[in-house]
Amino acid sequence: MKQLRPFVDGDWTDGEQSAVARDTYTREPVAEVQSPGRAQVAAAVRAVAAAQAGPSLSPYDRYRILARAGELVLERAGELVESIVTDTGFTTVDARREVERTAQTLLLSGEEAKRLRGEMVPIDADPSRPARVAFTVRRPVGVVCAITPFNSPLNTVAHKVAPALAAGNGVVLKPAELTPLTADLLLRVLLDAGLPPGLISVLYGDGPTVGQWLLEDEVPAYYAFTGSTAVGEHIQRTIGVRRAQLELGSLASTIVCEDADLARAAQLCVNAAFRKAGQVCTSVQRLYVHDAVVADFTAALRAALDGRKVGDPREPGTFIGPLIDEQAAERVESWVAAAAGDGAEIVTGGTRSGAVVQPTVLTGVAPDMNVMCREIFGPVVSIRPFTDVDKAIDEANDTPYGLAAGLFTSDIGRALHVAGRLRVGTVHVNETSSARVDLMPFGGVKASGFGHEGPAYAIRDMTEETLLTLGP
CA pair distance 85, 98, nearest whole angstrom: 11
HEC per residue, 270-305:
HHHHHHHHHCCCCCCCEEEEECCCHHHHHHHHHHHH
| From 98, 177, 247, 258, the catalytic residue | 247
Phi-psi sector, 194: left (phi>0), alpha (psi -120 to 50), beta: left
Q: What is the DSSP string of 138-203?
A: EEE-SEEEEE--TTSTTHHHHHHHHHHHHTT-EEEEE--TT-HHHHHHHHHHHHHTT--GGGEEE-
Phi-psi sector, 284: left (phi>0), alpha (psi -120 to 50), beta: beta
| From 145, 269, 281, 333, the catalytic residue | 281
CA pair distance 172, 152, nearest whole angstrom: 18
Active site residue 281: yes
CA pair distance 233, 248, nearest whole angstrom: 9
- Residue 133 pairs in a beta bridge with 470
Quick one: which of 38, 41, 34 has its CA closest to 17? 34
- Residue 33 pairs in a beta bridge with 4, 19
With beta carbons less than 8 A apart as the criterion, state whether 402 and 446 touch: yes
CA pair distance 421, 297, nearest whole angstrom: 24
Active site residue 145: no
Q: Where in the sequence numbering do the catalytic residues fall?
A: 247, 281
